[in-house]
Amino acid sequence: MAEESKTTFANPAPLGLIGFGLTTVILSLINAGLLPKGGEQVVIPLALAYGGLIQILAGLLEFRTGNTFGQVAFLSYGAFWFWFALLILLGGHGVLDLSQAGSTIAVTLIGWGVFTLYMWVSTFRMTKALWWVFLTLWITFFLLGFGALLGVSGISLAGGWVGLLCGLLAMYTSFAIVTNTSFGKTVLPVGAPKG
């Protein structure tokens, strides 16, 4: 009887995390006021190519590995980056009239915060690193959304700073997974999952 070969797949999570993390860091530097608002034009192609496309590919690969959480997270946030890029691109070129859309965009960001909050609940069974990424992400979305909705720039600015922390945490988590996999042992801690 011939032995069945078991196909192993690489973990797509670090790819999705770095696509998300790097794009989030660059946009958050703008939202925190550390880079000029005109820098959003640089974020658009990054959001499409790395934040969007790479996360969507990672989400499809998570589907292949049977990871429901990873699939939903990477496909959703990949789509978020496409939405963001298209909003700026089409709005900036007059294809979409966004002159009266401020409150709708704000509520959409709050909606993303609600989605992220429910995804965060699942991270209580995952690594502490992922728990921190999703905690800071839902806080970021709420701060950006409510800051825009209420017209309080200080709240939006705080959202930029928390978003910067979130992006850096995602980049670290990606780095840790790749490094630990490469060395075959824990070199960089991600925090053991609970129970």
141-178 per-position pLDDT tens digit: 999 999 999 999 999 999 999 999 999 999 999 999 99
pLDDT per residue as tens digits for the range 62-113: 999 999 999 999 999 999 999 999 999 999 888 999 999 999 999 999 999 9
* CA distances for 103 relative to 100, 106, 144, 151, 158, angstroms: 8, 5, 12, 9, 19
DSSP for residue 185: S
Q: What is the pLDDT of residue 5?
A: 62
End-to-end Cα, the chain, rounded Å? 39
Across the chain, mean pLDDT equals 95
Short-list 121, 162, 152, CA closest to 24: 162
For residue 8, name the pLDDT band (cuts at 50, 70, 90). confident
